[in-house]
Amino acid sequence: MPASQSRRERPAKPALTREGIIDTAVKLMEQEGLQRVTMRRLAQALDTGPASLYVYLANTAELHAAILDRLLGRVDLDVTLAGADWRGRLDAVLANYEEVLFAHPALARSALVARPAGGNYLALLETLLALLAEGGVPDLQAAWGVDVLLQTATASAAEHSARREDSNAEQDWNQLRQALAGASPDVHPHVRAQADNLVSGTPAERRRWGIDTLLNGIQATTPQSW
Amino acid sequence: MPASQSRRERPAKPALTREGIIDTAVKLMEQEGLQRVTMRRLAQALDTGPASLYVYLANTAELHAAILDRLLGRVDLDVTLAGADWRGRLDAVLANYEEVLFAHPALARSALVARPAGGNYLALLETLLALLAEGGVPDLQAAWGVDVLLQTATASAAEHSARREDSNAEQDWNQLRQALAGASPDVHPHVRAQADNLVSGTPAERRRWGIDTLLNGIQATTPQSW
DNA sequence: ACCTGAACACCGTTCAAGT
DNA sequence: ACCTGAACACCGTTCAAGT
């Protein structure tokens, strides 16, 4: 019996690869949330020490970016809504993008800062640019527009998913409602008058309006116009 | 000599108060950055143990929220640009808001998730709502609009300041430029064609266009229109 | 009521040494 | 080249005990 087979308590430990590490990281995130995907825990899941991961990943930020790009692969870019025009399809893609991020607030937050540069992000950009082109949006406006569209969708996902996950975020929200409703009509007349409007609408309604607003603005606003 | 004066190596240790703690936290942040404002370091700066802070603050998130509201007090809401219309003034307020957040990327990031409910935030909302009202923007559109305007400004600050602070974020950016420029004309034709446009413009130009785009959209888009 | 020492249960990252 | 044990320098939060 060769020495390599003498101890077989666990399934053969697979060789470390960047892909394999990220696979495990995604699984770990799905089971325990991104906040549990630390270098140490990930190493433990891979049956090694944390130092080993630094052969494949420069730091935690790079790990999170890699996880994000993996997740972006789940966004359905081939939405074929029967009879939907380009706006309807663009809305569907962004809604789906938000849904994917919605499951992982911390990831959405990191997406706002560390732009992914992976293949799946490129594919998402391509789809959005194609839809804007189909809608006759001039090139530069479309290019700058996708940025704002994605930024809004990402921020939205970060906010709403955090509100669901952290009980603190929900408390913050209630505190804000109270502060708005209790605003003095003398000091903050507009806030007071608009207290209800400021918190009205479902997340879906807000998103829908936000995207529509952005699209209307993007179509109407030439960068050189001022 | 009373016992209370027998040891006087350091200036009399001031009694802990929430305000005092946050004062110290803001100073600490200015000197060493938000990432250094931990419960432990803050306690050290206050010449006490970390457990003492939990009498006044429920957790680190609450600490960061309090710091944020303090900083919001520095946004100049009385911009009186000679001859500027409401749009010009709104742009100035948001530019100033971004500047204030720009100095502290981590804070900008937290602002996206934990909405501040303090007095300074209320004052900012009031100013923005007043400017939109002056511009004749219908109430509901104005209420939903300030949200998107602030969200965009916040996300923008978070992104650009992170790029300045983390050398990693700058690397990410360069990687993205490369990925865009190197996109295959067959697989990602729109991305390839728009590679330059996607990264063109200064942050200021982008912000200006973004706000203008948003305002045009907000004015043109009724929530009930679909 | 307010404050705190000490502990619990963790982190990221580096580096010299091994294979 | 790849991998790792061990260490360095930290974290947030709790809780029993003190004043």
Domains A18-57 and A77-165+206-226 in one fold:
no
Residue A42 has pLDDT above 90, yes or no: yes
Mean of pLDDT values over A46-58? 94
**What pLDDT shows up at residue A8?**
33
% of chain B with per-residue pLDDT over 90: 60
**What pLDDT shows up at residue A86?**
93
**What pLDDT shows up at residue B2?**
38
- Integer Cα distance of A10 and B1 in angstroms: 71
> Could B172 and A215 be called an inter-chain contact, meaning their C-beta atoms sit closer than 8 Å?
no
User: In the predicted model, what is the mean pLDDT of chain A?
Assistant: 86
Q: Which residues of B touch A137 (CB under 8 A)?
A: none
**CATH class given for the domain over A18-57:** mainly alpha
**What pLDDT shows up at residue B4?**
35
DSSP state of B57: -
- Integer Cα distance of A65 and A67 in angstroms: 5
Cα A20 to chain centroid distance, Å, stands at 22
Option in A129, A154, A190 nearest B129 (CB)? A190
B120-138, pLDDT tens digit by residue?
A: 999 999 999 999 999 999 9
**CATH class given for the domain over A77-165+206-226:** mainly alpha
Domain ranges of chain A: 18-57, 77-165+206-226
> Looking at chain B from residue 103 to 162, which residues have their Cβ under 8 Å from any Cβ of chain A?
105, 109, 112-115, 117-118, 122-123, 125-126, 129-130, 133, 139-140, 142-148, 151-152, 154-156, 158-159, 162
DSSP state of B48: S
> Could B188 and A113 be called an inter-chain contact, meaning their C-beta atoms sit closer than 8 Å?
no
Calculate the angstrom distance between C1' of C16 and CA of A104: 38
Closest chain B residue by Cα to residue A146 = B198
> Looking at chain B from residue 172 to 211, which residues have their Cβ under 8 Å from any Cβ of chain A?
172-173, 175-176, 178-180, 183, 187-191, 193-194, 197-198, 200-201, 205-206, 208-210
Mean of pLDDT values over A39-65? 93
Residue A50 has pLDDT above 90, yes or no: yes
Of the pLDDT bands very low, low, confident and very high (cuts 50, 70, 90), residue A26 is very high
Residue B105 has pLDDT above 70, yes or no: yes
Of the pLDDT bands very low, low, confident and very high (cuts 50, 70, 90), residue A119 is confident
Closest chain A residue by Cα to residue B183 = A122
Cα A134 to chain centroid distance, Å, stands at 25
Of the pLDDT bands very low, low, confident and very high (cuts 50, 70, 90), residue B102 is confident
Helix and strand numbers, DSSP H then E, in chain B: 12, 0
Residues contacting residue A167 through CB under 8 Å, at least 6 positions apart: none
Residue B33 has pLDDT above 90, yes or no: no
CB A20 within 8 A of CB A56: no
Q: How many CB pairs under 8 A join A and B?
A: 213
B63-74, pLDDT tens digit by residue?
A: 998 999 999 999
User: In the predicted model, what is the mean pLDDT of chain B?
Assistant: 86
**Most distant CA atoms of chain B, gap in Å:** 87
Q: Tell whether B92 is within 8 A of chain A (Cβ).
A: no
